Amino acid sequence: MRRRAGSLRPWSTPLLPALLAGLVAMAGCGGGSSSSAPQVPFLPLPSPAPGRYFTHIVIVVQENRTFDNLFATYPGADGTRVGKTHNGTMLLRKADLESPISPNNGYRYWLADYNGGRMNHFDLVPIGRTPGTYVYQYVNPAQIRPYWDLAKQYVLADHAFQTDGSGSFTAHQDLIRGGTEVNSSDSIIDFPTGKPWGCDAPAGTVTSLITTNNQYLGSQGPRPCLSYSTLRDLLDAKQLPWRYYAPVIGESFGGDLWNAFDAISAVRYGPEWQTNQASPETKVFTDISRDSLPAVSWVVPDYANSDHPGNSSDTGPSWVAQVVNAIGESPAWKTTAIVIVWDDWGGWYDHVAPPGKRRSGGLGFRVPMIVVSPYSKSGYVAHAQYEFGSIVRFVEDNWGLGRLGTTDTTSADFVGDFFDFNQTPRAFQPIGSKYAKPYFLHARPSGRTVDDE
């Protein structure tokens, strides 16, 4: 395997504790909304050490789509045009990305869709109060051309499964940890009872649990302000910088609900909330432009740019394209891997039943995953089974971090499947999109009223 080297910058890792201490002294670390906290300078983090394969791993998180919903007709992939209903089959209809309706996607709806592995009760799950066949559709490929173009140039995984049959709260936790176990027998599932989803939630907010044998314990979980270890702990132990780019808490749907580290007490009430949690999410372009991407980045969009159904927006594919283009046209391209993933199934139809014995509500349904790098195999569709734990494992193995002991220990390693380190690193070819980078830099936050999906 070829080891990629990164450029050195005038920040040294030992400076980080002093930087953090100074910034937290300026900003404080109380439990109020971040929008009311004093502003601090957005400074580069220390330069990351090169890993075994890459110097930077960027995880771009989109929302609520199954594999069939986005790639049903992609050549060579395990998609379908035919869906199973409770009383037969039907053709999936070609539809717009801009969905006016957001299907239900909590655990009990997942269980109904799944129907013991038969995958044929999606039409019995209500949308609002009425069940129907609305979720039997796939997005017009012309409207998501950036995703298809990325798949054609790089790697598309067609058997990547979300960790559990649940929604966005646990999915975003799984992408920083690989699981939501809070004790030896119970894991968090579904959504907290109050918003924002995290330490900023109102007093009395609790979570729900699911046992290892799939017994659902509604509203019997802890407050969504958690003390378990995440990739942050492993990265900090190796003095490797990381950032979570997300909308501002209290200003948008995404900021209120999809900031995974708002639910991690050591981050929310510590100095890293001011340095490693970067809001708004467009600050990722700042770090890319000054060649200061950290070792690991999570990039979470504003609601309008998230592909979330019900948002009446078509900007999600362009948002992803512009993040990829910014990296591809920067010095970081030659040492970066970009993992693009959708956090959960969002209620949409998918025909592939999750494999293996169910435990703790999982595996969940398939979601698309695209992996972009100079060493990604060209136009390759990976059919092997992967999970969110595979992404966590990729980060761990790249820098020899050890294991968190969640699904990172059982999920498959995709390095040998996705990458060819013997090939000449490819030059980046920009991804075309409907909306250019200035659109996202100058757009106002969506200000979408928070809901519970």
What secondary structure does DSSP assign to 393-448, as a single string? HHHHHHHT----SSGGGTSPP-HHHHB-TTSPPPPP-PPP-SS-HHHHHHPPP--P
Which carries the bigger pLDDT value, residue 17 or residue 102? 102
User: Would you say residue 32 has pLDDT above 90?
Assistant: no
User: Would you say residue 26 has pLDDT above 90?
Assistant: no
CB-CB neighbours of 362 under 10 Å: 27
Q: Where are the domains of the chain?
A: 51-442
User: Would you say residue 3 has pLDDT above 90?
Assistant: no
Rounded to 5°, the CA angle 308-309-311 comes to 80
Which carries the bigger pLDDT value, residue 348 or residue 254? 348
- Position 445 confidence tier, pLDDT thresholds 50, 70, 90: confident
User: Residue 186: phi, psi to the nearest 5?
Assistant: -125, 145
pLDDT at 136: 98
pLDDT at 447: 58
Tell me the C-alpha distance between 328 and 372, whole Å.
10
Residue type at position 363:
L
Percent helix, strand, coil in the chain, to 5, is 30, 15, 55
Tell me the C-alpha distance between 307 and 342, whole Å.
9
Q: Which residue has the tokens 């995709």?
A: 414
Which carries the bigger pLDDT value, residue 336 or residue 14? 336
- Position 448 confidence tier, pLDDT thresholds 50, 70, 90: low
- Position 8 confidence tier, pLDDT thresholds 50, 70, 90: very low
Structure tokens at 59: 């995880």
**CATH code assigned to 51-442:** 3.40.720.10
- Per cent of the chain over pLDDT 70 is 90
CB-CB neighbours of 185 under 10 Å: 13
User: Would you say residue 451 has pLDDT above 60?
Assistant: no
Over residues 294-328, the pLDDT tens digits come to 999 999 999 999 999 998 899 999 999 999 999 99
pLDDT at 252: 80
Q: Taking the CA of residue 421 as centre, how many other CA atoms within 13 Å lie in the half-sphere pointing to its CB?
A: 13
- SS3 assignment, position 98: coil
Q: What is the CA radius of gyration of the chain?
A: 20
Query: Is 367 within 8 Å of 387 (Cβ atoms)?
Result: no
Which carries the bigger pLDDT value, residue 127 or residue 272? 272
Average pLDDT over residues 84-93: 98
